[in-house]
Amino acid sequence: MQAFGKYLLFLKNLVVRGESPKILFNRTMDEAILIGINSIFIVALVSTFIGAVSTVQVSYNMESAFIPRSTIGFIVREMIILELAPTITSIVLAGKVGSSIAGGLGTMQITEQVDALEVMGINSISYLVLPKILAALLVFPMLVILAMFLGLIGGYLAGTATGELTAQEYITGIRIDFIPYNITFALIKSVIFAFLISSISSFRGYFTSGGALEVGSASTAAVTNSVIAVLIADFVCAQLLL
């Protein structure tokens, strides 16, 4: 409970004595490149194979002659849009981005770079952390959209390459009873996950003390706590928004 209160105070300090809009914008764009561009490959790889595996496994469990093969495309679409793309992508990014944020801030803390900013009269939390959170809020939905698209492409390639269903059956399936709100729901989840991952990782990294061993521990704690927060938030969002 004490740690949660400290976390809330940490969030409050994000908007106290903030930097000028120009500096904030430039730093946010730099962080967006680090978070977004450097994560495209791993997101693309994971989402494509998730779509492919989902198609093969759904097909394996739907051998009945009374069920049209296009149903496979429908189920894969719902799985990817509602759950796999936003949640699995966020968990992957929690490992990659979260550990990077915590490690970077932890290293700055133990090398007294954060103290140097405070001595110069700069709010180190606002200067260092706020751009990371804003960049995550900007980039995560884009990566989730990419994951949705590539997940469906992966399912298409796997389904047609293995002969489980034809291209026309798969395309018909992903167009059946499409609900546009599902896309909105996934993007809402991605924004919430982005805030949780970036803020929790920053919190763990910012309050690191000691040496290199503590930086590693902070990175591990950041990933663990972020994944747990994402899973809890996933359940809450599904309960409230669906």
Is residue 11 a part of any domain in this protein? no
Is residue 30 a part of any domain in this protein? yes
Is residue 12 a part of any domain in this protein? no
Q: Tell me, what's the pLDDT at 186? A: 94
User: Confidence band (pLDDT; 50, 70, 90) for 3?
Assistant: confident
Q: What residue has token string 């090398």? A: 111
Instruction: Give the CA distances from residue 185 to residues 27, 86, 147, in Å, rounded to whole numbers and listed in that order.
Output: 29, 9, 15
* Cβ-proximal residues to 64 (8 Å cutoff; 6+ apart), any chain: none
* Cβ-proximal residues to 126 (8 Å cutoff; 6+ apart), any chain: 13, 14, 15, 16, 17, 18, 19
User: Confidence band (pLDDT; 50, 70, 90) for 196?
Assistant: very high
Is residue 14 a part of any domain in this protein? no
Provide the number of structural domains found in the chain.
1
Q: Report, as an integer, the average pLDDT of 176-201.
A: 93
Q: Tell me, what's the pLDDT at 153? A: 94
User: Confidence band (pLDDT; 50, 70, 90) for 183?
Assistant: very high
pLDDT tens readout for residues 62-110: 777 777 888 888 999 999 999 999 999 999 999 999 999 999 999 998 8
Q: Tell me, what's the pLDDT at 236? A: 94
Is residue 8 a part of any domain in this protein? no
- The alpha carbon of residue 138 and the mean position of all alpha carbons in its chain are separated, in whole angstroms, by 11
Please determine, for residue 151, whether its predicted confidence score (pLDDT) is greater than 90: yes
Is residue 86 a part of any domain in this protein? yes
pLDDT tens readout for residues 35-71: 888 889 999 999 999 999 999 998 888 777 777 888 8
Q: Tell me, what's the pLDDT at 60? A: 85
Q: Report, as an integer, the average pLDDT of 183-196.
A: 95
Dihedrals phi, psi of 13, to nearest 5 degrees: -70, -10
What is the residue range of 107's domain? Answer: 20-241
User: Confidence band (pLDDT; 50, 70, 90) for 163?
Assistant: confident
Is residue 7 a part of any domain in this protein? no
pTM of the model as a whole = 0.91
